[in-house]
């Protein structure tokens, strides 16, 4: 049961650090992408909620809640990305969409006029 001289067993390959980074990037991409999508969903709800008038406090509350949840989920992405071990593996373009969504949610919250 010897190994032929022309083939090399996978465990004999030298370990390359990029192999670990790729696996860790895939693992960390899941929460980053999911939280970014959650933030986008809540921002979409906040933008598409229209009050019927100045008296429609339920709609204003929905806008505030959707905006707040968008900010929280975008902030979670930012907080995750701020960890030095995560920043080594996932560069800043991974966090930019969530940051933009968070800023848009803050703008919607402020402009809601509640």
> Please, is 47 exposed, middle or buried when counting C-beta atoms within 10 Å of its C-beta (0-12, 13-18, 19+)?
middle
Which tops the pLDDT comparison, 106 or 92?
106
pLDDT category of residue 103 using cuts at 50, 70 and 90: very high
Size of the chain in residues: 114
Candidates 39, 107, 113; CA nearest to 69 is: 39
Note the pLDDT of residue 19: 59
Which tops the pLDDT comparison, 5 or 51?
51
């Amino acid at each position: 049961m010897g190994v032929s001289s022309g083939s090399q067993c996978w465990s004999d390959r030298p370990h390359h650090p990029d192999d670990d980074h790729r696996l860790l990037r895939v693992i960390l991409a899941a929460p980053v992408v999911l939280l970014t999508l959650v933030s986008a969903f809540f921002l979409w709800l906040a933008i598409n909620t229209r009050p019927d008038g100045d008296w429609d406090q339920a709609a204003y509350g929905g806008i505030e809640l959707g905006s707040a949840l968008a900010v929280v989920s975008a902030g979670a992405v930012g907080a995750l990305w701020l960890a030095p071990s995560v920043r080594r593996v996932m560069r800043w373009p991974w966090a930019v969409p969530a940051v933009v969504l968070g800023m848009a949610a803050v703008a919607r919250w402020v402009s809601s006029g509640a």
